[in-house]
Amino acid sequence: MTAPAPLCVGYLRRLPGTDPEEEPRLIAELCAFAEREGFTPELMFVERHWSRTLALRALTAYCTQRGVRNVIVPTAEHLNQVLPLADISKEELAQDIGGQVWIVTPEEEEQPCPPRRAENGGNT
């Protein structure tokens, strides 16, 4: 008999300038990511106003009370729009729930630099 997949919850914040129609797509992406990573998505918390944290506080309480140790977020920006603060928010949330926060799409994916041409026509 196999063990059941660990539970997870999702969190997203309706960011300024984001079309409300994007919400179902983001939720579907969170669920797909969860299933690919071997989790069972249990609940999605949506922050309807970008400057509030009501849903985030509710998520933290929910995870703490029910022992859910995994939270999935579309991008770090959904935790905080200032990226250094988003990293801190991610660490604090992980600590609060005693688990891990998974970012579906890293904010800055490293792109290889294209080779530059040297004066003699070769690559540098």
Between residues 60 and 18, which one has the greater pLDDT? Answer: 60
Q: In the CATH scheme, what architecture does the domain 7-103 have?
A: 3-Layer(aba) Sandwich (3.40)
What is the pTM assigned to this prediction? 0.81
Reported as a single tens digit per residue, the pLDDT across 62-119 is 999 999 999 999 999 999 999 999 999 999 999 999 999 999 986 444 434 444 454 5
Question: Which positions ≥6 away from 86 have C-beta within 8 Å?
Answer: 76, 77, 79, 80, 107
Residue 105: the pLDDT is 87
In the chain, the amino acid numbered 75 is T
User: Mean pLDDT throughout 37-54?
Assistant: 94
Residues forming a β-bridge with 40: 7
Residue 110: the pLDDT is 40
CA distances from 107 to 36, 61, 68, 86 (A): 20, 27, 25, 10
Pick the closest to residue 7 from 38, 29, 36 (CA basis).
Answer: 38
Domain regions of the chain by residue span: 7-103
